[in-house]
Amino acid sequence: MEGSWRSRSSSSTGVLVLLLLMVVMQSGEGQLAEDFYSKTCPNLEAIVNQVVSTKVSQTFTTIPATLRLFFHDCFVEGCDGSVLISSPNGDAEKDSPDNLSLAGDGFDTVFKAKQAVEASCPATVSCADILTIAARDVVVLAGGPSFNVELGRRDGLISQASRVQGNLPEPTFNLDQLNSNFVKNGLSQIDMIALSGAHTLGFSHCNRFANRIYNFSSSSPVDPSLDPEYAKQLMEACPRNVDPRIAIDMDPVTPRAFDNVYYQNLVAGKGLFTSDDVLFSDPASQTTVNDFARNAGDFNGAFATAMRKLGRVGVKTGNVGQIRIDCTAFNS
């Protein structure tokens, strides 16, 4: 009786080991890796960097536009290039109201980099990976930290405007809402605060924060947490009924440098959005903001870590998805 039990146990164990080995092998095929293209496209990062550098030399907008594009892509369907798809019906991810303000220079950067990569390594590198590399490169070109990127993503097969709403953080969010939005993507409060530092670059249209300077509450039309002088500057730049195309720098001090001045602005009451201001006004996050404001090294390290984690959100690997030839269209 004991012998037969051992025989069955040994057989079952063998099957279990085989199954586990298969799972490991399958998951191994789908893992991101820094050297993913070392054999199939060894010059990939140099090719992308050349295109990005050229584009940045032509227009600074390339930097915040590309960084924002990466974030918007990853938070909807995962980092799979789905935000790059164009639809003749105007119903792709990029057509969502939340994405209409994405600057064209970000898209153009990825498309030009993809063309250059295709010339050297045809049908090999995903648009999602090219966007990931480009997002890192613009940070470095703006004076931010350099970090290695993990590669091996495939491009997703879903891009629908209807699936965007509720997945991106809003400028009116409080700390709990921000944390909830990031946690569902595997990102911590520290990651969220660090990634918010991307607001040290770029611009915003006036309607995204008009409520803070004209109709904050019945008792105070101007948000009292705003520095009075900064609020005055905002009203001068964005008068009532301003042209909706008008935009202002999110960092009023060093708008073209990737630095920790964003956090110093928060301490000084110069956070543009409610979702910026709350990072300092809420005691649960204030300590981190103070640390980043005082120590650029802490911020840069946390930002690099958060960007790598962001790049893992919802990735498609192995046989899932496709390697798109044209980043604007699914392969037929």
- The tens digit of pLDDT for each residue in 147-204 reads 999 999 999 999 999 999 999 999 999 999 999 999 999 999 999 999 999 999 999 9
Out of 21-25, 103-107, 132-136, 321-325, which region has the weakest mean confidence (pLDDT)? 21-25
Return the structure tokens found at 184: 């569902």
CA distance 304 to 322: 27
Task: Give Cα separations from 17 to 28, 108, 253 (angstroms).
Answer: 16, 49, 60
Q: What is the mean pLDDT of residues 205-213?
A: 94
Q: Say whether 93 counts as a known binding-site residue.
A: yes
At 27 the pLDDT is 36
Q: Is the pLDDT of residue 313 over 60?
A: yes
Instruction: Using DSSP, state whether 35 is helix, strand or coil.
Output: coil
**In which band, very low, low, confident or very high, does the pLDDT at 30 lie, cut at 50, 70 and 90?**
low
Run of H or E residues at 205: strand 203-205
Q: Judge whether 305 and 194 are in contact, CB under 8 Å.
A: yes
- Tokens 């110069």 — which residue? 270
In angstroms, how far apart are the furthest CA atoms of the chain?
89
pTM, entire model:
0.90
pLDDT tens across 84-96, in order?
999 999 999 999 9
Any known ligand binding at 169?
A: yes
Tokens, residue 91: 């119903």
Question: Annotated binding residue at 76?
Answer: yes
Identified catalytic residue from 55, 68, 72, 324:
72
> Is the per-residue pLDDT at 102 higher than 70?
yes
- pLDDT confidence of residue 29: 42
- Share the mean pLDDT of the chain: 92
Is residue 72 annotated as part of the catalytic site, yes or no?
Answer: yes
Whether 199 has a binding-site annotation, put simply, is: yes
The share of the chain scoring above pLDDT 90, in percent, equals: 89
Q: How confident is the model at residue 332 (pLDDT cuts 50, 70, 90)?
A: confident
